[in-house]
């Protein structure tokens, strides 16, 4: 039996700094409402519903997800998510609904956090 060096084994695991992918965020948090339309949440993959939201763009969508909107709590009710993970989840949802957004950066997540914080009462 051959043993792989420990470095190779750990290299395949995501580092803590990388965090969750958009799909992982969706499956762990967003699916509860966006998978079913609970509380009138736009349903995952529904291009008709997501079309208007996609046109609004990430500068509106991500701050709304970070701070909460209508019946959706901040970060979808999962405060353990980082701002970047939330942004990744939003991009994943929006792209499934017809968007063509790129993977968000830490810098963009920080900008969207600032925008979300300005909207707080």
Indicate the pTM of the whole model.
0.83
Domain assignment present for residue 4? The answer is no
Report the residue count for the chain.
121
Domain assignment present for residue 3? The answer is no
pLDDT at residue 115, as a whole number: 94
Domain assignment present for residue 83? The answer is yes
What is the residue range of 52's domain?
A: 30-119
Average confidence (pLDDT) over 70-98: 95
Domain assignment present for residue 34? The answer is yes
Return the closest-CA partner of residue 85 out of 58, 101, 100, 66: 66
Q: What is the CATH number of the domain that holds 74?
A: 1.10.760.10
Per-residue model confidence as pLDDT tens digits over 37-47: 999 999 999 99
The H or E element containing residue 111 is helix 106-119
Question: How many domains are contained in the chain?
Answer: 1
């Amino acid at each position: 039996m051959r043993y792989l060096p420990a470095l190779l084994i750990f290299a395949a695991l995501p580092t803590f700094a990388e965090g969750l992918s958009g799909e992982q965020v969706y499956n762990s948090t967003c699916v509860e409402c966006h998978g079913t339309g609970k509380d009138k949440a736009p349903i995952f993959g529904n291009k008709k519903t997501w079309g208007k939201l996609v046109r609004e763009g990430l500068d509106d969508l991500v701050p709304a997800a970070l701070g909460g909107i209508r019946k959706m709590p901040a970060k979808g009710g999962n405060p353990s998510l980082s701002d970047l993970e939330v942004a990744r989840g939003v991009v994943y949802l929006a792209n499934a609904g017809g968007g063509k957004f790129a993977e968000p950066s830490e810098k963009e997540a920080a900008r969207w956090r600032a925008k979300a914080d300005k909207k707080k009462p």
